[in-house]
Amino acid sequence: MDAAVKERVKSLVLQVVKAYLSEQVEEVDSHSIAILLNHPSSYSEGIMEAVSTLADKYDVTILVSENWQASQEKWAANTILLNNETSFTQLNEVLEKTKLLVIPVASFHLLSKLALTMDDDQAIWLAIQYQLQGKPVVIANDDVELNVYEQIFSPHSVQERIQGYIRQIQKDEVKWVSLKDIVKTVDTQITSYDEKAPLLLSKHIEKAMRDGLETINLPANSRVTPSAKDLARELNVKIQKKTDS
């Protein structure tokens, strides 16, 4: 093989490698997630490691309370401090640009409020908004799951109430996992979210009409029932599917 051919082969290989790396970067950048650190934890070292791993894999926005403010310099990610000055406009911007919410620290306050859909603080409000938009919520349960002594000595009614809250959020499709599995769970939930196909029904067309909505915007992979199509045509409600992700 002469020098000219070698140079040509080398150039082609470099082009292929660059194209591959470009695709990988685009794929990572397209997966934006939010991480909510609100409550203190007895597993801070493991939480720091999990957050750092996620920040390396995804485009991450981290929302921290004053409990975690000192740690925010350790992450090369967009960090927002949750306090009285944080506006709902800021939170909505995070909600709109991210696909998934990760909560590495659970608390009984978070568990009960989320199970009862009581959005009386910023953190709970944000988590509920992700649910309402059909976006995955992943919560690490290590700080809430009862240890053996708590199971032995705490009243059965308390244990049953806690388990009832856990069953409710799991029914609501919140992923309630151990901290060691949180990164793997985020990966699978991102994939599931990308493959999710929303279903448009007649009742959604009726609701759009009552709200004065002339156009319903849906992801490209959405499904529309025949009756919904007919009703939309009858009521002059336009169904528009996005051409991108």
Q: What is the DSSP string of 44-76?
A: HHHHHHHHHHHHHHSEEEEEE-GGGGGGGGGSS
H or E stretch at 224: strand 223-224
Ranges of residues in the chain whose predicted pLDDT is under 50: 21-22, 24-29, 245
Among the listed residues 142, 88, 82, 144, the one whose alpha carbon sits nearest the alpha carbon of residue 113:
144
**Proportion of the chain above pLDDT 90, given as a percent:** 58
Tell me the per-residue pLDDT of 63-96, one tens digit each, with 9 for 90 and over: 998 888 877 677 667 888 888 788 889 999 999 9
pLDDT score, position 195: 83
Instruction: Write down the pLDDT at residue 18.
Output: 54
Sequence ranges of the domains in the chain: 1-29, 31-195, 199-241
Residue 27 confidence (pLDDT):
42
Go through 39-68 and write b for each residue having 16 or more CB atoms within 10 A of its CB, e for each that does not: bebebeebbbebbeebbeebbbbbbbbeeb
From 3.40.47.10, 3.40.50.1950, 3.90.1150.10, 3.20.20.140, which CATH number describes the 31-195 domain? Answer: 3.40.50.1950
The predicted pLDDT at position 199 comes to 87
In this prediction, residue 12 carries a pLDDT of 56
- The per-residue pLDDT for range 206-229, each reduced to its tens digit, is 998 899 988 998 888 888 999 989
Helix (H) or strand (E) holding 241: strand 238-241
Flag whether the pTM goes above 0.85.
no
Q: How far apart are CA 236 and CA 233, in angstroms?
A: 5
Alpha-carbon distance values, 140 to 4, 51, 110, 121 (Å): 57, 12, 12, 20
Q: With H, G, I as helix, E, B as strand and everything else as coil, classify residue 121.
A: coil
pLDDT at 20: 52
Task: Give the C-alpha separation, 37 to 69, whole Å.
Answer: 9
In this predicted structure, what is the pLDDT of residue 24? Answer: 46
